[in-house]
Amino acid sequence: MTQLNIDQARIDRARASAKRIARQVFDEMSTFTTTTVERATLRLMGVDGVDENEIPLPNRVVSHLQSQNLLQYGAATVLAGAMQSQGWTAQQVAQAVAQGTLTLTQPTDIQAAQAAAKAQAQAMCAHIAAQRATRDAQIKTSGEAPTPWLYVIVATGNIYEDVVQARAAAEQGADIIAVIRSTGQSLLDYVPYGATTEGFGGTYATQENFKLMRAALDEVGKKVGRYIRLTNYCSGLCMPEIAAMGAMERLDMMLNDSMYGIIFRDINMKRTFIDQFFSRMVNAYAGIIINTGEDNYLTTADAYDAAHTVLASQLINEQFAELSGLKPEQMGLGHAFEIHPEMENGFLWELAHAQLVRQVFPEACLKYMPPTKHMTGNIFKGHVQDALFNIVSTVTNQNIHLLGMMTEAIHTPFIQDRFLAIQNAKYVFGTMKDLHGEIEFKTGGKIEQRAQAVLAETEAMLAQIEQMGLSSAIGKGMFAEISRTPTGGKGLDGVIAKADSYYNPFPALMLPAQGVHHA
């Protein structure tokens, strides 16, 4: 398809603004750590499991470090020092702390403890690198579907039932299985443990659940002859920990936005900005594709009027992702088909928005979301809306295509609803396979004018945010028409100022190019 005629210089200016916005936030936040970053670090160093009250050991150790006023130095050094002095594993140290038989202290030889922490971290990095190599080898052997990849949700609350539904979806043609998290898990300041069978509107994200689903998808992938990708959510108060668990268990995608938690879950701004950097760094190293949440803006704001806020946020998300070491092909920047179906020429505007995003991020692994806000109990009209969404997706070369369900807004989809959604998308993708290469946009036409107008608004918005700072922009409700403040929201008490001698081995190992600057 010929490209829309849009001003590249304007894109460059908007991107440059976004880069400065992200950098300013990053520099402000780099002097802090959080309780969940330190818990993720403990997990990556080999701490797992729960105490007799089902409290995760990483939480027990971090609480203990806080009570001893040691967390500001970094959990890694203190843990490694205890491992050295006791001759124990990380797990044995954590168990002793939980049982009250060991009190952690500053190591007598800090340098030796840091070297030991680094060695322990290197072993986990080797494991994660091996998981990444396994993924590459399986894709090479089994092959993968052409894009747009069909992305399907399972959400029964019971991981064993999810496995049954996921297998069925893969056999029907799904390429990506996303296990929706239990309602409100993003607000838990700990990660549940073990296989779970009772979730609400979804299934708890736990390491054991990741392992069970990964094994099932590997098995069905061999059967259907293509690699099936697994997605979960590392948003919320435990973002870094869930990223670490996903890296260990070879997840392929993670919902991981830089601002979603602030805006939609009222999680503290500082906490989110620190956590998103560490979690994205882990995802980058593990070869995981992140999915961002800009599509959600259009469920609270009007999809036509607020189109530029989606693009502005995508540009900011891209820059945060780059600081964490993510490559463009790992950036599943989100957007959505959400214009009111009664709006005249709505389809043209949807096409304009999708093509604009495609051109602004030519190398990104874009994630396109289906109509949800204006879906009703009329399943026949809903099926038509989804078909129109499928057309835009294939014509504009999207990468990740979240399937629309005709029963959206009625109930959690049945297996047969999912089957019909997959059939609809496969029909459209097949019958219009090369359409994008056969048609051109009219120069100066409505679609081109719309794209240019959205881009101009985006550039102006980013220039404005650059002037006031991102936290002030969020405070003014510039995204999704929801306002948050820097000191409000959940989790601020988990933000810790780093001591001058703070040490964490993972940034230097996972971001060697940026090295010590991130340590």
Please indicate, yes or no, if residue 217 is contained in any of the structural domains.
Answer: yes
pLDDT of 516: 39
Render pLDDT for 450-509 as a digit per residue (tens, 0 to 9): 999 999 999 999 999 999 999 999 999 999 999 999 999 999 999 999 999 999 999 999
What is the 3-class SS of 95-125, one letter each residue?
HHHHHCCCCCCCCCCHHHHHHHHHHHHHHHH
Please indicate, yes or no, if residue 308 is contained in any of the structural domains.
Answer: no
Please indicate, yes or no, if residue 223 is contained in any of the structural domains.
Answer: yes
Q: Among residues of the chain, what percentage have pLDDT more than 70?
A: 98
Give me the mean pLDDT over the 407-430 stretch: 92
Give me the mean pLDDT over the 144-161 stretch: 96
Q: 176 and 211 in contact (C-beta within 8 Å)?
A: no
Please indicate, yes or no, if residue 339 is contained in any of the structural domains.
Answer: no
Tokens of 129: 């690198």
Q: 58 and 39 in contact (C-beta within 8 Å)?
A: yes
Under DSSP, is residue 487 helix (H, G, I), strand (E, B) or coil? coil
Check pLDDT > 50 for residue 243: yes
Q: What is the mean pLDDT of the chain?
A: 96
Instruction: Give the rounded distance of the alpha carbon of 9 from its chain centre.
Output: 29
Q: How confident is the model at residue 374 (pLDDT cuts 50, 70, 90)?
A: very high
- Number of structural domains (the chain) is 1
Backbone angles phi, psi at 495, to 5 degrees: -95, 125
CA distance 12 to 9: 5
Secondary structure letter of residue 3 according to DSSP = P
Tokens of 285: 């190293």
Which helix or strand (DSSP H or E) is residue 40 part of?
A: helix 35-44
Please indicate, yes or no, if residue 453 is contained in any of the structural domains.
Answer: no
pLDDT of 413: 83
> Would you tell me how many other CB atoms lie within 10 Å of the CB of residue 439?
10
CA distance 231 to 245: 12
Please indicate, yes or no, if residue 479 is contained in any of the structural domains.
Answer: no
Please indicate, yes or no, if residue 159 is contained in any of the structural domains.
Answer: yes
CA distance 261 to 276: 10
> Would you tell me how many other CB atoms lie within 10 Å of the CB of residue 89?
14
Q: 231 and 403 in contact (C-beta within 8 Å)?
A: no
Give me the mean pLDDT over the 410-438 stretch: 94
Give me the mean pLDDT over the 414-438 stretch: 95
CA distance 71 to 423: 53
Q: How confident is the model at residue 517 (pLDDT cuts 50, 70, 90)?
A: very low
Give me the mean pLDDT over the 391-403 stretch: 98
pLDDT of 415: 86
Q: Please give the residue range of the domain that contains residue 210.
A: 147-231
Please indicate, yes or no, if residue 267 is contained in any of the structural domains.
Answer: no
Catalytic residue ranges: 260, 295, 367
Alpha helices (H) in 173-268, listed in sequence order: 207-224, 239-248, 260-265
Find residue 253's DSSP bridge partners. 231, 289
Give me the mean pLDDT over the 201-219 stretch: 97
Render pLDDT for 272-312 as a digit per residue (tens, 0 to 9): 999 999 999 999 999 999 999 999 999 999 999 999 999 99
pLDDT of 513: 58
Check pLDDT > 60 for residue 313: yes
Q: Among residues of the chain, what percentage have pLDDT more than 90?
A: 96
Place of tokens 């993924």: 135
| CA distance readout (Å), 3 to 6, 271, 297, 400, 442 | 8, 40, 26, 20, 10
Q: How confident is the model at residue 329 (pLDDT cuts 50, 70, 90)?
A: very high
